[in-house]
Chain A
Amino acid sequence: MFDQITAYTNKLVADRSALPGEIAIAAQDDVLIVDGNPALAQLAGDVLARLSCLGLVAARSSLPFADFLVARAPRKESFIIPRDTETRTFLHDIPFLRREEMGSDPASVIARLLGSRKGVVVEGVGIVASGALTIEQAYINYSSVFHSTFVKYLQDVLHDGFVLPGEAESFAAFRRDWLRPLSADGLAFRCGPLADPAVILHEITTVGRYTVERGLVDSFFGNISCRAGDVIYISQTAASLDALAGCIDPVPMDNSSTFGITASSELLAHRRIYEVSGAATILHGHPKFAVVMSMECEEVGCTVTDCWKECDRVRMLGDAPVVAGEIGAGGLAKRVPPVIAGPRRAVVYGHGVFTVGEKDFAEAFRAMVEVENWCREEYFRRVAERLKIGP
């Protein structure tokens, strides 16, 4: 398992969600294995030994947002509830532990919290996340918490401004140092139409990796497909976008076979998009600023309370329509196809972005970059406007 520990430590560094040197991973087979930062490794091992889980990640987040959320939370609160779809669907809420609540046996307290949830924010320590079956699962849960706290903090700043000493400076540093320009420049895409299955599989694998390497999405947040004739080649459920080799299902358009049961939960959305748009490729990811901005609804007097599911309005983020709809059979597949054909892009409330390409992935990739860049710029414009701070 040491090879897996090394691999996911490297992924945490590569995706810049954790600080190098401040990562530990624990795993238990018939014996407990820990590796990484000594203090965090001790903690990780002590926590995991108390849980019926195989893997655990304990790492200091590369951004202080989770800690800020804890410090900003009312004293009586013990968890935070980000509003993004990932949290709503899979995490429900994220418990946290304040510094003063750790006591003499923090591992025991953290284990108790992780006994109920997939990840926990430990103030001053970082994010601790478990994986019931694999180290990868612990990594995914860590990334989910990182993603959700990122989105919530940006939303909270937009609504409430800075309330803690040092927040404004950290936020400025985040914008200046952590964020990187997004672009498709320098990437090579195969020109369509794509017809050869081997070429399609290779191109999907390549483009999936691009989305992660360019920081457009986190590795497992999204799916990708290409239609060739009567077959949709689509990434499998729970597949990492940067490791799609062997994880792509060819699914007949007419449902004459069911081995695509392992395909992405958004297979239905992809199929319907192909049916209405004439597209050849689809890219779906959860770029963070698009997720944040999709939830910035300024409708006044609206009676809808379940915005993720029940809103039937189509709003616009630049030239990208925003619609509601939950994952899989939860409505997304009904609401995205009608709006995506014209603009070749659509945003789903609290969830992420769909883009399409007429012939190949170049158009879809560039469209996703454009949506996220527009949302990023709009976010900072609104922050500046509301908080009266400069760029």
Chain B
Amino acid sequence: MGAVAVHGWTGRILCVDLTTRESRHEKIPAEFLQAYLGGRGLGVRLMRDWYRLDPFDPAMPLIFAVGPLCGTPAPTAARLSVVSRSPLTGTIYDCSAGGRFAWRLKAAGFDALVVTGKSATPVAIAITPSGTEIVDAGQLWGKTVHDAVTALAGRGSVAAIGPAGERGVLFANIMMGEGNSVGRGGLGAVMGAKGLKAVVANGDQPVVIADPERFGKARQDVMRLFRASPVIFGELGIGEYGTPALVDLMRQRRMAPTDNFRRTVFEGSGNYSGPAIRRDFHAKKDGCYGCPIQCKKSTPAGEHLPEYETVSHFGGLNGIASLASIVKSNTLCNELGMDTISAAATLSAWGEARGSFPDGEEVLRLLADIAFRQGDGELLSLGSRRVAEALGRPELSMSVKGLELPAYDPRGAYGMALAYCTSNRGGCHLRAYPISHEILRKPIATDRFSFSGKARIIAIAEDTNAAIDSLVACKFSFFGATLEEYAELLSATTGIGYSPQDLKEIGRRICLAERFYNCDNGFGVADDTLPERFFLEPGSSGEGVEIPPIDRARFDEELQKYYRIRGLTPEGMFADRDFLVKQP
């Protein structure tokens, strides 16, 4: 093991084995930290010996990893990534979430918490500067996220699962105490399978910045770019309206998924637009700890209001125009600890299969059934792919690699179409986030109806975002700032010179490691594709905008370009079986 850097990282992992109820500290080799940064990258590296395990194998690690900027005043950097293997998709999986928990974990002296094993009875892990304790959580088992967080709040910042995670719902979340989600891939179910109800962190050690003056200047540069960005601090941006600011835009671009992606315009979407939410629920600014953007919104009473993906999927995707109903669905998912995108998309696929989409009241009943795995919820808890297969209609699952597609119809943005398929965690919009340039014109506009150049753009963006997820910063920062400013923040924090190009190369290493894990677990070109609907059926054309089916030949051509850029075979595999062992 090499020397551990003094600044930015703690150089230590907390390892907790729930089977033996033992915990220990391990040093992290400095070269790991410098080569993978933290967060997603560090977690992916730490998974190297474990990625083949079944997600519910007790030996499967569940990794909570912070980044070198966590604990500093770097904008949007009080975040962590949770990494493991997804029970929903079978892929390597990570998810980034904000909140005090990340900061408290690092302040306890750790860059990562690695949980393995399985407790015979429900437990919580309590981490303090003076030690780690595994405490009985039997009285919390079955409680909602809110109740569990409230019960543990006196011990520190909480990450907890709800009933859905306890019962193995394949899209169960881990919820941060302030309401942020570790969502999509079902890592809440991994946590539940370990008998782990919650983790509480209560560290108080400050992070020392190597060059405070350089850091301060870089921070000013970031904030200036935030102020210059119409998406972030513009009067119609996410700072004002949250991500539902996108509702009107997606409607106008005719790419709002409706009726399980059969259509791309929902006439009732104005009911849940950003201005409508502000008007009807008196939305106030809310957000992650330490974040200046404050893109989350809540009611004056503190109820978290839904984000864009949630309003769109509990809205148009299921043909529901009632904002009140959508807000209830969102709150229920948060309480039960379930991913809103996958829950709503699974209900939508199920609804199409049976011939009618659920209405608002039925959605609420079904969500509860899913979380408790009862009635129709037993099947629905498995996610849309397994539901559609069980119903003999596999084509109705609007997912890639089993992960339900979010609220950007790929027929309206061809980079998004490609990125859904190359994403290492399945149909996710955030891996390459082409909506940024195809729709929001940041940092530059690209033609959303063209594949030209998109393979390279997606590869670069995947690398960039992998680095961002490893710092760990919020991707919304990059509607304004760039890696230039964040490389400065990182260099100033650690005292080690990083350039944007360095960060992109680190990101590439992370993406390829993830891809290698997936390939080794049987994923290949056949998995890198969209549901047939997008190649066969048009979206909702009109108002001078045509939404034709995606040209499959052109899509395949661009996918092959992506493989060549990534150094993969035409089957999307690694020609070099030793690729992984050559990496740090």
Contact = CB atoms under 8 A, between A and B. Distances in A.
Interface string B226-257: 01111101111100010011111101100000
B502 A115 contact: yes
B273 to A, nearest CB: 6
B455 interface: yes
**Chain A CB within 10 Å — which of B235, B245, B441 has the most?**
B235
A115 B505 CA distance: 11
Contact of B274 (A88, A132, A258): A258
A29 B455 contact: yes
Contacts, number: 160
A260 B452 CA distance: 26
A262 B235 contact: no
Q: Which 5 A-B pairs have the closest CB atoms?
A: A115-B501, A327-B228, A30-B561, A52-B504, A329-B233
A262 B484 contact: no
B249 A259 contact: yes
Contacts of B453: 1, 27, 29, 54, 133-134
A255 B501 contact: no
B463 interface: yes
A263 to B, nearest CB: 6
A260 B441 CA distance: 12
Contacts of B234: 261, 263, 265, 267-268, 328-329
A390 B341 CA distance: 70
Interface residues of B, number: 58
A276 to B, nearest CB: 16
B538 interface: no
A267 B228 contact: no
Contacts of A303: none
A28 B236 contact: no
Contacts of A200: none
A54 B442 contact: no
B227 A251 contact: no
A209 interface: no
B386 interface: no
B230 A134 contact: no
A346 B188 CA distance: 56
Contact of A132 (B252, B452, B460): B460
Interface stretch (B32-40, B82-90, B405-413, B443-451): B443-451
Interface residue tally of chain A, by bracket? 35 or more
Contacts of A225: none
B142 interface: no
B130 to A, nearest CB: 42
Interface string A38-78: 00000000000001111000000000000000000000000
Given A52-B501, A92-B484, A238-B441, A261 B230 contact: yes
Contact of A133 (B246, B457, B564): B457
A239 interface: yes
Nearest to B507: A52
Given A29-B455, A236-B445, 13 more contacts: A1-B453, A29-B456, A30-B560, A52-B508, A133-B437, A136-B444, A238-B444, A257-B273, A259-B248, A261-B231, A261-B234, A265-B228, A329-B233
Interface of A: 1, 27-30, 51-54, 88-90, 92, 111-112, 114-118, 131-134, 136-137, 140, 236-239, 247, 251, 255-265, 267-268, 271, 326-330
A237 B233 contact: no
A328 B227 contact: yes
Contacts of B229: 265, 328
B228 A258 contact: no
Contacts of A28: 456
Interface of B: 221, 224-225, 227-231, 233-237, 241, 244-249, 251-252, 273-275, 437, 439-446, 452-453, 455-457, 460-461, 463-464, 484-485, 487, 499-502, 504-505, 508, 560-562, 564-565
Contacts of A90: 225
A329 B236 CA distance: 12
Contacts of B499: 112, 115-116
A116 B565 CA distance: 22
B224 to A, nearest CB: 6
B463 A52 contact: yes
Contact of B236 (A1, A115, A238, A258): A258
B565 A30 contact: yes
A119 B156 CA distance: 47
A140 B228 CA distance: 17
A116 B500 CA distance: 5
Contact of A261 (B245, B446, B501, B502): B245
Nearest to B485: A92
Contacts of B455: 29-30
A115 B483 CA distance: 10
**Chain A CB within 10 Å — which of B234, B246, B440 has the most?**
B234
Given A115-B499, A267-B236, A329 B275 contact: no
A27 B504 CA distance: 18
Nearest to B487: A116
